[in-house]
Structure 1
């Protein structure tokens, strides 16, 4: 029965696309549509739903940092290095799986992922030993792995290319917001120490995991499918969305899975550079989100103070992520904003490394965390949205997104082993790696900027000599078509 339902949705989507292909019908339908009002409607219906899911995802993966301050490692008799191994196992289980989304529907797949990791996250609260901790972290990574690349692909089926980056960046801002929420929630929940005979860290996992499960069950009703099968749009609005996407990208194409498109992505140096752009950011991103409470505590603060002091840097990062997304969208540029934001984070790590005595001058090191957070999160948001704008062909784009996440998370795997207890309070090893990776990010993004600009220039010269080249994406040529322009 489930497969019949998926086939029915697919056939409905395909037949709807065919029915809307008449230019006269589109012209008649779109004459009364206000595009700005329609975009506001899409934003209000789509973005809050997926942003809530991602906020919970980042909260459930990073709350282990808060739980550590409340006795997690002590109760489970873990050494510092064993704790780091548990963090690494999360990324070993992290396997992007957009192909499942293409074979099901967003309303089924995204809430089911959320329900899965919500249950796993809750089980963390009743873990009794090291083996249980390792198992839960591995399966948490596995169940969370499909959300981000799935949502990026999902939004590409609703918005035009120039509109996606801003929406994806807003969606990603939930990551820094989760850090702020995590600090205040952990501070409050830690006061439940002793309730039910459980330590405070267990309640952090149990309550936040149960919250995720409840939201997941509700998500089956508030997550929408694709435009042509959504009930809250009028026929005219569906026609308009189909027409604007058809003229802009491949979102309306009835594209079957094709291994040739997969290999096109693998052979494209730009897809590898998108992956390296995230790789050079994922190490500082995840080391900051997983170790910020410990970094602050090592400055001489108590556990409760450290939980609360994580909030301001994350709040600033959220504001910067939104501002950078808006300015980047208006300018139509990506690379210069990533480079400038990463440079801001570089300043933060220089401050952290330069302070030879964090316990005597905690304010200096704490200032460094503001620069680091305010620089890392905007860069990650822009880097992760780049392939959604620049890769054409649904299968190729899904492959490029998966490559980016997979290559990127290798940086996180390394990062989880760097902030060892014996390197506190200065954490020179971890901070130095983060600084080096951010400097590498500037180089990678600069290289990608050069390559994209050069390819756009080649296409311009081709059109000068062949002005009759067809419009659109050029069918199977996708982003290789002379009229396709890369966002730089």
Structure 2
């Protein structure tokens, strides 16, 4: 790939974006010397072109990783609705109660939480490519092995391992993105990843409904579901291992799509506090400093309490909807009723993301607090509503607010 000529002087567009070519203000801090000189070689159009290249190479693979994670995690919510009343039903073959089924969710979530911080301490040392390919391979194998469980203990073990392996993915993705993009460029890309991942419920709904027609042919339908989802993850781990780039300034390789000068520019355009490949693998002082601030704790607690209501509903949603009886005697077909809420979530995610990325008049916390208040009202509606159709509508409305 040809490098961009370093001899041209800064263009008008370059100065509009980066300021004077000799002293470049970054988040209120003047950056001088080599960084300023390097930035002066690239125009605004050059920066946009390089970001588009990074989007293609990074976002496609990372979005598939997050989509696969949601598929392999969510499939367990759908399998109990397959072939109800038959010996090959999930509850009958695994010989568990609905209480044990709910404990499986608790085991997964607890292990997921325990794995997030330790897993992401190693990402800098291992590099994102090895980090992601390892955890995707391991959770794919675990998901496929869930098809062999025959009791509650085996199910708990598989869900615990799945949580441990999946825990490092999403924080790791966010970390890698901070090494490539400025903070003002992250929101739209994170929205893209999250929105695409919501296709997981659509894929799982269609997959499990189709597999209900081959129930008992070699394996039960629920076993086919776990095996197919797990094999997809194994194949994806191979693609990640060979194709995912690590850092903008990584040494030249078949995965590195930037020239050395372009990679150095992508790093130079980041603000001083951004993540870089040259950072230390672990900085205990920085962690203690962040934990003393109120932002981490306030945002974390808000996410925790918000998730208490939404995660539980997501886990039980296929079972809840199948109990409405809206599809008559075909319980397996009730999984298809999960497609409209998923589509609605995708539409509202894109809409809210587009709007919030462009408006500045209303503080972002005001939107989040407003969403929480409306969600509480909808949950009260779910408690007292007696109509199956009304409950389905309230569920759809809650997904309008959740994004």
Q: TM-score range by the shorter chain?
A: 0.7 to 0.9
Structure 2 residue 290 is the aligned partner of structure 1 residue 265: yes
Partner of 1:349: 379
1:78 aligns to what SS in structure 2?
A: coil
Q: 1:124 to 1:21 in 2, by over 3 A?
A: farther
Q: Distance in 2 between matches of 1:289 and 1:168?
A: 21
Q: 1:25 to 1:265 in 2, by over 3 A?
A: closer
Partner of 1:200: 221
Instruction: Determine if contact 1:351/1:364 at 8 Å carries over to the other structure.
Output: no
Matches within 5 A, 1:58-137: 58-70=70-82, 71-94=89-112, 95-96=115-116, 97-137=119-159
Matches within 5 A, 1:320-399: 320-332=348-360, 334-355=364-385, 357=386, 361-376=387-402, 378=403
Partner of 1:191: 213
- Structure 1 spans left out of the alignment, 5+ residues: 1-19, 379-488
Q: 1:298 to 1:23 in 2, by over 3 A?
A: closer
1:286 aligns to what SS in structure 2?
A: helix
Q: Distance in 1 between matches of 2:272 and 2:359?
A: 19
Partner of 2:85: none
Q: 1:55 to 1:344 in 2, by over 3 A?
A: farther
- The structure with the largest helix share of the pair is 1
Q: Distance in 2 between matches of 1:177 and 1:277?
A: 25
Q: Distance in 1 between matches of 2:292 and 2:212?
A: 50
Partner of 1:427: none
Q: 2:62 aligns with which of 31, 45, 50?
A: 50
Q: Distance in 2 between matches of 1:264 and 1:146?
A: 22
Instruction: Determine if contact 2:179/2:276 at 8 Å carries over to the other structure.
Output: yes
Q: Distance in 1 between matches of 2:311 and 2:239?
A: 29
Instruction: Determine if contact 1:58/1:175 at 8 Å carries over to the other structure.
Output: yes
1:183-224: per-residue Cα shift (whole Å, max 9, x none)? 11111122220111x211111101111111111111112211
Q: 1:24 to 1:290 in 2, by over 3 A?
A: closer
1:227 aligns to what SS in structure 2?
A: coil
1:46-75: per-residue Cα shift (whole Å, max 9, x none)? 111111111111111111111111221221
Partner of 2:232: 211
Partner of 1:303: 331
1:84 aligns to what SS in structure 2?
A: helix
Instruction: Determine if contact 2:205/2:338 at 8 Å carries over to the other structure.
Output: yes
Q: TM-score, normalised to structure 2's length?
A: 0.82
Q: Distance in 1 between matches of 2:236 and 2:35?
A: 41
Q: Distance in 1 between matches of 2:313 and 2:325?
A: 18
Q: What is the alpha-carbon root mean square deviation over aligned residues? A: 2.1
Q: Distance in 2 between matches of 1:219 and 1:176?
A: 21
Instruction: Determine if contact 1:187/1:304 at 8 Å carries over to the other structure.
Output: yes
Instruction: Determine if contact 1:160/1:249 at 8 Å carries over to the other structure.
Output: no
- How far apart are 1:326 and its partner, in Å? 1.8
- How far apart are 1:343 and its partner, in Å? 4.3
- How far apart are 1:364 and its partner, in Å? 1.1
Q: TM-score, normalised to structure 1's length?
A: 0.68
1:117-162: per-residue Cα shift (whole Å, max 9, x none)? 0000000111122211110010000010000111111111111011
Structure 2 residue 281 is the aligned partner of structure 1 residue 250: no
Report the count of equivalent residues.
352
Partner of 1:437: none
